[in-house]
Structure 1
Amino acid sequence: MKRILAAFTMAAVVASASAAPMTPTILAHDWAVGAFNADGTAEYSTNGIAPDTLTYTRSAANGEVVGYWPTWPAPAAFPVLDLAGFFGGDFAMSVLFDAQDAPYVGAPSTLDVSLTGTGANELGNDLELWGRVSAGGAPPAGLMWGMEIERVSLYGYSDWNSYIFEAAGTITGGSLAQLFGVVGFTGVVRGSIDFVERPAGLFRPEYDPSDDINLDVRAGFSGEVGEGVVIPEPMTAGMLLLAAAALARRR
């Protein structure tokens, strides 16, 4: 039993001292998003020694928010329309990355790129979904979902073109959020950032946003937004310790 407790303790120490995915889980109100800037503006900027930024702007031509599930996976998704009534609502998001915490050593291999940060808007929402859900009784077109982002994470393997993106924060408003009474609840984002013609040297091993690099790169986002939860890796390890202690008492 001492060996079991020692193993769990080591897991807790490693988890609390290493970078780790946030692994958000969407519980309800799942929005499907495929985002880019239709005007050609680069989404990802390294900004020299200042924090890196990832920005998706509002545009009627984007058609980015394509489906909405009140509960996933059933019933089938409701289509989302933009303010003019065309398919695909609008997605806007602004976040910054100001630190890195790689490497994360865990199964199945080591992640040597892991950026952390927060929402970039000091005033207003960091994430907004605009349009209308095509369903009977749905609110009129407008702001459907707003979110203040408190934590963001981008991670993966160095010198790749695709990286996992995760975010968590607070749902602040929007017609659907108000309709279902989830304003003030935890909001989460999960998906991937796919870089187009990523320059060599961007996201080398243990890349840090404070590195003096000036690049503007096109980067699409594919993923989901919704109400959910995040269990940080150190908390997970702590739960394992509690379970091990309970097992020791039973023996």
Structure 2
Amino acid sequence: MNTLDIRTVDVVQYLQPLREGGSMPAIVKADDDFLYVLKFRGSGQGKKSLISEFIGGELARAIGLKVPELVFMNLEDSFRQTEPDEEIQDLLKFSVGLNLGLHFLSGAITFDPLISTADAMTASKVVVLDSLISNIDRTAKNANLLYWHNELWVIDNGASFYFHHNWETWESHLTRTFPFIKDHVLLQQATALSEAAAEIQKFITLEKITEIVTKIPEDWLTSESDILNADEKRAAYIKFITTKLSMIDVLVKEAEDAR
């Protein structure tokens, strides 16, 4: 099994905000000379969306989906001082420290459900994975998929695991199905759901889940307002994913019925 090696880079240049994203990510340059889409810890959903983005992205990669490289990105306070836009100034101020970056896919085009297609297995893997991680944000309105070099790339998993916005009730989500799958942008093309589920079970093992969750920066898991500490949250993410995997047949049937 490939060990998960997440690089940490420093932001050296803030280039431009991506205003189409609700959390206003930005294109930045890092000290490795690559460009990244930077997801800010100081955005509306904060560190929780970074955790969702990270776990969702690495699970997608583990099952063979195309995902841009994810890196941890250090942001210093100096960028705020040269930024004229007050809204961006605030975002930079509250995002000093460790953020998440996705390798920028230059020239990629947004997936358009009216003209874009995905092969049945790829579409099915995305649908089943999004059911497992309760990703409510892969709809025709906002596909969060890109085409790059004639391949489908999965981005933006930040709306997954929405149970973590209220830790007091998180266990009530464990046995729920995912009716939102009826709105999934790839549902009609996902004609190999059972085969995709079998593939996912092969690659998303307890070891792989634990490896991914262990890599979440401690700092992202600490919050004075939450009732769980960092270790308890890690255990919760692992339990959530393994519980969903144990009911994958139910989730597949729900998606098939929705089709």
TM range (shorter): under 0.3
For the pair shown, the structure with the greater C-alpha radius of gyration is: 1
Structure whose residues are more often helix by fraction: 2
Query: Comparing both chains, which one has the higher relative contact order based on Cα–Cα distances under 8 Å and sequence gaps of 6 or more?
Result: 1
State the TM-score, normalized to the length of structure 1. Answer: 0.25
If the length of structure 2 is used for normalisation, what is the TM-score?
0.24
